[in-house]
Amino acid sequence: MWLLSLVEWTKQIFLWAGKQDDAGLRLRRSLAIDVYEVAKWTALIVAVIGTKDSLFWTCLIPYLLASNLFSHFYYHVWKEPESRPFDHVDMQRRLTSFILAFGFMLVGFAYIFLVPLQNEITWPDGAASTGNALFLSVANTFTLTYGGYGPESQLGRTVFVGEIIYAFFFVVIIVATSLPERR
């Protein structure tokens, strides 16, 4: 999965240019992540606002969601911690990154509900809209209730449950990175 990650490719491109000292590497890695985040969010916003229904968007958004989850698990749970301790700026950056990733999950699943699964869901007012899709995504994640919404097919139920499992993994990341380390 690491080799298929666009964020890793973006970081490699930024790392190939410039000095190879530790501070320069950290700066370019951070800049690459920021550029990738802007591009990822831009793609998602274009897909949601424009309700882009095409094979490209229908494949890209789930890929970005999978990459989003993988990157956070890889760097916050699986990867060995760096030898240097985190300072205040590092912690702020991690929190911001986590909030952006969680928000991306909510909006990404709203896109999936709104466009590819539009006909697989019962919408309370009979028509799908961006606001309804965002509400459904947030309600499904935090309250596990659907209100007037409902999946009408096995595919719809699978995606609803998939969002809950995805959110659960983010909760695991919070717990795993919040526990004190054994000495």
- For every residue of 139-166, DSSP letters joined together read HHHHT---TT-EE-SHHHHHHHHHHHHH
Report the share of the chain in percent with pLDDT over 90: 44
Q: Tell me the residue range of the domain where 26 lies.
A: 2-80+88-178
- Please report the pLDDT score of residue 165 as a whole number: 92
pLDDT at 41 over 80: yes
Report the domain count for the chain.
1
The per-residue pLDDT for range 155-169, each reduced to its tens digit, is: 999 999 999 999 998
Is 183 inside a domain boundary? Answer: no
Mean pLDDT, rounded, for 55-79: 84
Is 116 inside a domain boundary? Answer: yes
pLDDT band at 77 (very low <50, low <70, confident <90, very high): low
Is 62 inside a domain boundary? Answer: yes
